[in-house]
Amino acid sequence: MEARRMHTRLDYGKTYNTLENLKADLSDATFVKRERSREEDIPKDVSPHDLYAKCKTCGIEFPVGIRTNPRSFATSSYVGNVHKCPDGHVHPYDKQDYLLKKVN
């Protein structure tokens, strides 16, 4: 389909070319899968939770003294935090090492 070209006068006396009656032919179009937005991955829960870590030596779960919520935890960065377990073992912990437990 051929579009009819016409001139349109806008403010400031400038002339712009516009296309009239132009329709896109999408018969051969390839559609790309829609990517999920980051917002869809963030939990909606904002109730208080305590952060726990599991000792890498003895396996004891212990509170690390941080209170947060799943939404804030998902958007925060936790890298190389050092904690001491009740048995005295000291290790660095990253985000994947933490457990969230809901405060009762």
Sign, CA torsion 58/59/61/65: positive
Kindly report the pTM of this predicted structure: 0.59
Dihedral, CA of residue 78, residue 84, residue 85 and residue 89, to nearest 10: 120
Mean local confidence (pLDDT), 81-102: 95
CB atoms within 10 A of CB 63: 14
List, for residues 63-86, the tens digit of each pLDDT value: 999 999 999 998 899 999 999 999
Which tokens go with 71?
């939404």
pLDDT for the residue numbered 44: 84
Higher-scoring residue by pLDDT: 42, 90: 90
Among 98, 102, 47, residue whose Cα is nearest residue 76: 98
pLDDT classification of 1: cutoffs 50, 70, 90: very low
Higher-scoring residue by pLDDT: 88, 13: 88
Residue carrying structure tokens 């349109």: 8
Distance of CA 21 to the CA centre of its chain: 41
For the chain, the structural domain boundaries read 43-102
